[in-house]
């Protein structure tokens, strides 16, 4: 696979890959345009991508998109430009986890997974049936997690919630996960952070509509 052609790159080493791709682009005379964000890739960042993508150019350009999180809304907005890329434009999307990529995006671009040595946090929770009782049990089971383990827990929670489709996740919801990671990095107690994330996520769970019986 040509590393500067359109594809998805799955890696947690964003800075390292950005440097590698920049070196490759310079050697081959290809202009690399990075749109890299810490935390969540936002809707306004999508507007920046579109602006750069539809700027006419005679030279081939590769637009690099990277962030810790891409919400479902953002991925759906990016779909249009990925499906029908402007002339002389390629797109590289860097995701930290393959599970976070929507099926519609997966079906449009080839995927390269660079490292798989980091094991996912073990998970036995059915996100579709998550209720307050399970939240309490989860907190009891994971009350002694280290900061690093807690970050992996939050990342896995986010991934599983996204995959389940059982939650109304908007931009503010994605920011919640980003804030949780930052709080853990700053030394906030893991039990406090995990409690806040789980309870706020539970509040976002889609409730089944009950159809009243007739007769």
- Reported confidence tier of residue 1, pLDDT bands at 50, 70, 90: low
Tell me, which fold does domain 7-113 have in CATH?
A: Rossmann fold (3.40.50)
Predicted pLDDT of residue 117: 42
For residue 215, pLDDT over 90 is answered with no
User: What's the whole-number mean pLDDT along residues 8-19?
Assistant: 88
User: What's the whole-number mean pLDDT along residues 176-202?
Assistant: 87
**H or E element that contains 10:** strand 7-10
How far apart, in whole angstroms, are the C-alpha atoms of residue 190 and residue 197? 11
For residue 64, pLDDT over 70 is answered with yes
User: What's the whole-number mean pLDDT along residues 151-175?
Assistant: 85
66 closest CA partner among 2, 18, 16: 18
- Reported confidence tier of residue 208, pLDDT bands at 50, 70, 90: low
* Bigger pLDDT: 75 vs 210: 75
Q: What is the pTM of this model?
A: 0.59
Encoding tokens for residue 209?
């509509």
Place of tokens 């991508």: 49
Q: What are phi and psi of 90, to 5 degrees?
A: -125, 160
State pLDDT tens for residues 109-119.
999 988 654 55
Q: For the chain, what percent of residues have pLDDT higher than 90?
A: 40
Place of tokens 């500067």: 4
State pLDDT tens for residues 98-145.
777 888 898 999 999 886 545 566 778 889 988 999 899 888 888 888
User: What's the whole-number mean pLDDT along residues 166-175?
Assistant: 83
The mean predicted confidence, pLDDT, of the chain is: 86
């Amino acid at each position: 696979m040509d590393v500067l052609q359109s594809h998805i790159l799955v890696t947690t080493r964003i800075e390292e890959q950005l440097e590698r791709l920049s070196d490759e682009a310079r050697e081959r005379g290809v202009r690399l345009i990075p749109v890299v964000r810490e935390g969540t890739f936002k809707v306004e960042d999508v507007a920046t991508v579109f602006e750069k993508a539809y700027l006419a150019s005679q030279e081939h350009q590769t637009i690099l998109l990277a962030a810790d999180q891409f919400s479902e809304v953002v991925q759906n907005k990016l779909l249009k430009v990925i499906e029908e890329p402007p002339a002389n434009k390629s797109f590289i999307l860097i995701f930290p986890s393959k599970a976070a990529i929507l099926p519609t995006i997966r079906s449009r671009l080839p995927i390269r997974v660079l490292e798989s040595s980091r094991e996912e946090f073990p998970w036995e929770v059915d996100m579709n049936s998550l209720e307050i009782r399970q939240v309490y049990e989860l907190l009891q089971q994971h009350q002694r997690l280290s900061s690093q383990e807690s970050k992996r827990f939050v990342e896995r929670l986010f991934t599983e919630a996204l995959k389940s489709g059982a939650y109304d996740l908007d931009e503010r919801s994605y920011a919640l996960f980003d804030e949780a990671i930052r709080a853990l990095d700053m030394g906030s107690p893991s039990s406090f952070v995990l409690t806040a994330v789980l309870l706020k996520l539970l509040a976002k769970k889609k409730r089944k509509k009950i159809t009243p019986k007739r007769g």
